[in-house]
Amino acid sequence: MFAAITFISGLLFGLGLAFSEMTNPAVVIGFLNIFGDWNPSLIIVMASAIAVGMLGYAIKNKKVKPWIAKEWQVPSLKHIDAKLLIGSSLFGIGWGLSGYCPGPGLTALVNNPSEGMYFIAALVIGSGIHFIQMRVTQK
């Protein structure tokens, strides 16, 4: 049951990304270009994501346990630190320069393979650097 719901959720998420054109870097860059030829259409996507997140937290606050899992898995850190600020800044810079974030970036392997290969290679290398850094700091 968990695998089926996970698959359906991922499929629904992917269809939402495609339908909203979050997989099109030109649309994303147009949204982020607030001082140029701004395309505000992704505000609807953002508002929808916030609404779904708020609904999820409302459900979590009313139910003791989730439907298909043993426990709720929500972020436990509640403070803003340098790692959060640096990481989110790097993410935002990369997203703004390329028009891709990790989810829609995977679609670039099909939609635009020449760009997609570079993006996914950079994603894997960056993830590897993070993994190594985390292993080093834990010792």
pLDDT of residue 67: 82
pLDDT of residue 85: 94
Same domain, 2 and 70: yes
Same domain, 70 and 82: no
pLDDT in tens, 5-41: 889 988 998 888 888 888 888 888 899 888 988 999 8
Same domain, 41 and 106: no
Same domain, 134 and 116: yes
Same domain, 52 and 19: yes
Q: From 57, 74, 91, give the residue that closes a domain.
A: 74
Are the beta carbons of 1 and 68 closer than 8 angstroms?
yes
Q: What is the DSSP string of 5-24?
A: HHHHHHHHHHHHHHHTTTT-
Domain that holds residue 47: 1-74
Same domain, 70 and 88: no
Same domain, 135 and 100: yes
Same domain, 66 and 3: yes
Q: How far from 8 is each of 71, 93, 98, CA to CA, in Å?
A: 20, 31, 28
Same domain, 66 and 17: yes
pLDDT of residue 125: 93
Same domain, 66 and 103: no
Per the structure, the count of domains in the chain is 2
For residue 47, name the pLDDT band (cuts at 50, 70, 90).
very high
Same domain, 91 and 60: no
Same domain, 68 and 24: yes
pLDDT in tens, 72-130: 888 888 899 998 999 899 888 988 888 888 888 888 888 888 888 988 898 899 899 98
